[in-house]
């Protein structure tokens, strides 16, 4: 069982990380779209790199949360890429998986 406060704290940390990176990503996206024709699409590379950096920071955060709390409770949080239900676009979601329980009293 995860305490509601712990769950809320974990989600708040993820949201905080996203909140910090969103304004910068949006600015670079707008700039990239405006200059896209002149640069033959190269102006969108900073957006791709920033999104990759944001994804890595979320993965590191989830790894830290797993080591801090969730692995002890038999859970594993991870970032997963999925196809949107309403369109052909892809989105990232947080999956919460159950870790298999190992019988500790059974001999090797």
| Mean per-residue pLDDT, 15-35 | 88
Outline where 40-100 has alpha helix (H).
Answer: 45-65
DSSP state of 44: G
- The maximal CA–CA distance of the chain, rounded, in angstroms, is 67
Task: Give 42-80 pLDDT, tens digit per residue.
Answer: 888 888 899 999 999 999 999 999 999 999 999 999 999
Other beta carbons less than 10 A from residue 11's beta carbon = 12
pLDDT given at position 100? 83
pLDDT given at position 106? 64
Provide the whole-model pTM.
Answer: 0.82
Take residue 46 and report the two structure tokens written for it. Answer: 């900073």
Domain residues of the chain, as ranges? Answer: 4-98
């Amino acid at each position: 069982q995860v305490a509601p406060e712990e769950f809320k704290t974990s989600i708040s940390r993820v949201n905080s990380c996203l909140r910090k990176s969103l304004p910068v990503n949006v600015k670079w996206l707008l700039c990239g779209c405006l200059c896209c024709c002149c640069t033959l699409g190269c102006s969108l590379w900073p957006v791709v790199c920033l999104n990759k950096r944001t994804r890595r920071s979320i993965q590191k955060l989830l790894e830290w949360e797993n080591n801090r709390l969730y692995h002890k409770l038999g859970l594993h949080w991870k970032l997963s890429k999925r196809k949107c239900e309403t369109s052909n676009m892809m989105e990232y979601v947080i999956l919460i998986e159950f870790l298999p329980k190992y019988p500790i009293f059974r001999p090797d």
